[in-house]
Amino acid sequence: MNILVSGGVGFIGSHVVTELLNAGHNAIIVDDLSNSEITTIDRIKQITGKSNILFYQEDVTNEATMKDIFSKNQIDGIIHLAGYKSVGESVSKPLLYYQNNILATIILAKMCLEFNVANFVFSSSATVYGDKLSPLREDMVLGSTTNPYGESKVISEKILSDLVDAHPSLKVSILRYFNPVGAHSSGLIGEKPKGIPNNLMPYITMVASGQLDQLKIFGDDYDTVDGSGVRDYIHVVDLAKGHLVALEGLKQGLSIYNLGTGRGTSVFELVETFQRVNQVGIPYQIVERRPGDIATCYADTSKIKNELGWEAKLSIEDMVRDSWRFFAKQESD
């Protein structure tokens, strides 16, 4: 199939495109490079040995541009990953997150109708569950979220649900991510944010390398095993394979799946594992909690395992090892 991947040069997108190409699909990437680098495409080609990637440096929220791209290409499906993703930034810049994330979903949904594209996989988030008690299940009724980023995903999910109600022939899969970390085992692609990282793992690698003085751990007084926040960290390669399984398993109507490991790991446990596996120290400082953060968040992954046969395979040790390998390779290149 010819799959349009919005945000396909980013951390998750590059791994998704890699899995698509390895499975014999073609990729059409739309990415504005606001938090990614064009050289990633050459790295994907190097990993896969495939050159069937068409790239457009464009903003998905530009409807006229998207119409032009769809009119010039035979597109069989969409994997929509593009969007702003920092919980903390969304609290301080809510309008930016609502406008960008929701508008991108609306425009791609319109393209489905206008160009008869029935297959749609949407990148959602565990933040849609708000502060509900873990393990989190797909059949939970969504209430209020704790931040505008999560709310932008809830609204996007609602848009797609209403779209399927109005057009039952569509095949839409919503994937609720937990916490993607790690990198491709080749060390060629991984998480390389511009500026100071918002996510934990790239921050850890920068501290480990000496580029940052210390890691800031946001709170040690949560009601968890050691006081630090507990999250369901999933290797980005497992996450990417989940997209492929969801795409190839699409069925008429709306499906919703968690993508996680089903296990919670605390920040302190993650830091300890990174130090132990990579034999490097991580100095840290405890600071105040971040607005919008919750204590514990991990998935119930039984639905996607039972319906599509997918489950995460890679461990926390794999995640920290691959993250450090990617970082070290970037520094040596």
What are the catalytic residues?
A: 149
Q: SS3 letters for the chain? A: CEEEEECCCCHHHHHHHHHHHHCCCEEEEECCCCCCCCHHHHHHHHHHCCCCEEEECCCCCCHHHHHHHHHHCCCCEEEECCCCCCHHHHHHCHHHHHHHHHHHHHHHHHHHHHCCCCEEEEEEEHHHHCCCCCCECCCCCCCCCCCHHHHHHHHHHHHHHHHHHHCCCCEEEEEEECEEECCCCCCCCCCCCCCCCCCHHHHHHHHHCCCCCCEEEECCCCCCCCCCCEECEEEHHHHHHHHHHHHHCCCCEEEEEEECCCCCEEHHHHHHHHHHHHCCCCCEEEECCCCCCCCEECECCHHHHHHHCCCCCCCHHHHHHHHHHHHHHHHHC
What is d(CA 66, CA 70) in angstroms, rounded to the nearest whole number?
6
Residue type at 34 in one-letter notation: S
What is d(CA 326, CA 11) in angstroms, rounded to the nearest whole number?
12
Cis peptide before 135 (omega within 30 of 0): yes
In a 10 Å sphere around its CB, with 0-12 CB exposed, 13-18 middle and 19+ buried, how is residue 19 labelled? Answer: buried
What is d(CA 218, CA 266) in angstroms, rounded to the nearest whole number?
12
